[in-house]
Amino acid sequence: MAMKLAERVVQLKPSASIVARQRVLELQAAGETIIDLTIGEPDLDTPAHIVEAAFAAVNAGDTHYTVPPGTPALRKAIIAKLQRDNGLDYAMNEVIVGVGAKQLIYEAFAASLDTGDEVIVPAPYWVSYPDIATIHDGTPVIVDCPEVDGFKLTAKALEAAITPNTKWLVLNSPNNPSGAVYSREELEALAQVLRQAPHVWLMTDEIYEHLTYDGVTAISLVEAAPDLKDRTLIVNGVSKAYAMTGWRIGYAAGPSDIIAAMVKLVGQSTSCASSVSQAAAAAALSGDQACVAEATEIFRQRRDRMFEILDGTPGLAVRKPDGAFYFYPSVAGLIGKTTPQGKVLQSDLDVSLYLLEAAHVAVLDGGAYGMSPYLRMSFGGAMADIEVGCHAIRKACEELV
């Protein structure tokens, strides 16, 4: 007799990006040549000095459990990073290390949400925010942030979304999937609304912080509004900027009470992050930062090449992102078009499936990110794949009638 699963798991949707990645791997294993533009990580290798720090930790016998909030060395490196890059001061008991940034979002919601609590999630959003809130009995409140507003939450929209039940606002800048980056003025406007709602906490996901282009700088809302620091949880990590996705290290900084609650949960779940990975992350944050600038320049070149090929493609409305490594083009001009096989495209999901079949290119539909009709296309992969994939997309779009 099969076990009756918990309702929270039955209702939980699998991550769209992980499902897409698995589908690509299955097709490739079956012999298909698929260009994967769903990738949510850099294809770059972890910089050598970071890898060497991991080997040094292993050779020194640093292979045991650490304390749940993270090694003192890594937490000190995080505190120094926040002061150096953001001008923010945190104490050791205001910082926690997790098995990736996703775990810390999970633990923060687990520590704070009760039934009926609302979490404001601007759309388009990273796929996991609403589901992590839901699994902890929270109610996601999705606020559309249309392209005309740069895919960014406005003060007016935030004010309209706040209710007495609002517990959190989640703000992701630079944004996945749109690449939008909030300016200081935009953050100050949001902060003014939050000052009128002292019961609302702010979670800022800054994982793409250093990946910005054309002179744009990503600013933490706490930098723009220091008075909100006592109800803000900053979430970040080493995955994107340092090409360390597989090392699984994220970190959070915030008031000591929410950090202490998260530490308790970590102690009862993962116990701690990998000691070796923590040593590598400390080297990443405290070492030479030239590798971050080098990676950003590589992504800028890929972004510009993707735009060059896709701009002017029939049915696609393409805009350059200011940050992260994703394009989020509108495919409104493709809805209603007919494929060479006679199928009418009725949604962005249909478009993504058509591109997979006709162009052998995998992309993600905007519906997975809360806003249609769009596609998410990553330039985190190799330039050769970007060129082949984008030319194939353009050709497939030109064949629609």
259-277: pLDDT as tens digits: 999 999 999 999 999 999 9
Look at residue 163 in the predicted model and tell me its pLDDT.
98
**Could you tell me if 216 and 129 lie in one domain?**
yes
pLDDT in tens, 224-238: 999 999 999 999 999
The rounded distance, in Å, linking the Cα atoms of 175 and 152 is 9
Ordered DSSP codes for 332-364: GGGTT-B-TTSPBP-SHHHHHHHHHHHT-EE-E
For 190, residues 6+ apart whose C-beta sits below 8 A from its C-beta are 153, 155, 158, 171, 182, 221
**Could you tell me if 258 and 338 lie in one domain?**
no
Residue that the structure tokens 């929410």 belong to: 258
CATH number of domain containing 306: 3.90.1150.10
Residue 16 has pLDDT above 70, yes or no: no
**Could you tell me if 191 and 78 lie in one domain?**
yes
Residue 166 domain flag: yes
Contact criterion met (CB below 8 Å) for 38 and 17: yes
- Domain extent at residue 317: 7-45+291-398
Question: What mean pLDDT value characterizes the chain?
Answer: 96
Residue spans of beta strands (DSSP E) within 222-352: 232-237, 250-253, 326-327
Residue 59 domain flag: no
Number of domains in the chain: 2
Residue 17 has pLDDT above 90, yes or no: no
Residue at a domain's end among 287, 306, 321? 287
The rounded distance, in Å, linking the Cα atoms of 179 and 182 is 10
**Could you tell me if 178 and 98 lie in one domain?**
yes
Average pLDDT over residues 58-69: 98
Look at residue 23 in the predicted model and tell me its pLDDT.
76
